[in-house]
Structure 1
Amino acid sequence: MIFEMAHIEVLPGHAAGFEAGVAQALPLFARAQGCGGAELHRVIETENRYVLLVRWETVDDHMIGFRQSQDFQTWRQLVGSHFARPPEVFHTEATEAGL
């Protein structure tokens, strides 16, 4: 299991619209091959900042399967107008160090 972490900054005054767009888009992620779920987190310390955390079986499930799909285009239509800048996206995997 890998995690996609998208750091997203939204335009001032767009938080409610962005969150509503993400709520509409979650079924797009849910039906994507290899997706194990998604969560939107609001950053407490910085207004208008979010982290979208998506669980994928593989990086290719995200980068090829989802990013090259019509569902990705729909996702961007739902939320893209709220972005202050393009999201910073990276993938992580758990190490053996942990609790």
Structure 2
Amino acid sequence: MILEAVMLQVKQGMEEEYEEAFRQASTIISSMKGYISHELQRCIEVNGKYLLLVKWETLEDHTVGFRQSSEYQEWKHQLHDFYDPFPTVEHFENVPLEEMG
């Protein structure tokens, strides 16, 4: 499993509109091959700051399957105008905390 983590900064005063657009766009990402789950967290200390966490089965499910799809073009159309600056996407993998063997 891969965790996609994105820190998002939404333009001032557009937070409510963004959250509604994100709710609608969520159906796009949740329909993709390899998608497991996602959540959007709102920062308490900084207005307009959000953390998007998406779980994918593989890195390629996100970077190829989603990013190179027509569905991604619709995702961009619905959401990308809200961001300033444009966010950096990072991917993480779990570190086992129990010793093997």
C-alpha RMSD of the superposition: 1.1
Question: Which secondary structure state, in structure 1, belongs to the residue aligned with residue 3 of structure 2?
Answer: strand
* Mapped partners of 1:93, 1:45: distance in 2: 27
* Mapped partners of 1:45, 1:88: distance in 2: 20
Deviating above 6 A after TM superposition, structure 1's stretches of 4 or more consecutive aligned residues are none
* Mapped partners of 1:92, 1:44: distance in 2: 24
- The CA deviation at 1:88 is 1.4
Partner of 2:24: 24
Q: Considering only CA atoms, is the larger Rg found in Structure 1 or Structure 2?
A: 2
- The CA deviation at 1:87 is 0.9
Point out where structure 2 has 5 or more consecutive residues left out of the alignment: none
Q: Where do 1:60-79 residues align within 5 Å? A: 60-79=60-79
- The CA deviation at 1:79 is 1.0
1:3 aligns with 2:11: no
* Mapped partners of 1:68, 1:9: distance in 2: 24
Q: Where do 1:46-61 residues align within 5 Å? A: 46-61=46-61
How many residue pairs get aligned? The number is 98
Question: What's the TM-score, normalizing by structure 2?
Answer: 0.92
Identical aligned pairs, as a percentage? 35
Q: Is the 8 A contact 1:9 1:84 kept in 2?
A: yes
Q: Which amino acid aligns with 2:19?
A: E
- The CA deviation at 1:97 is 2.5
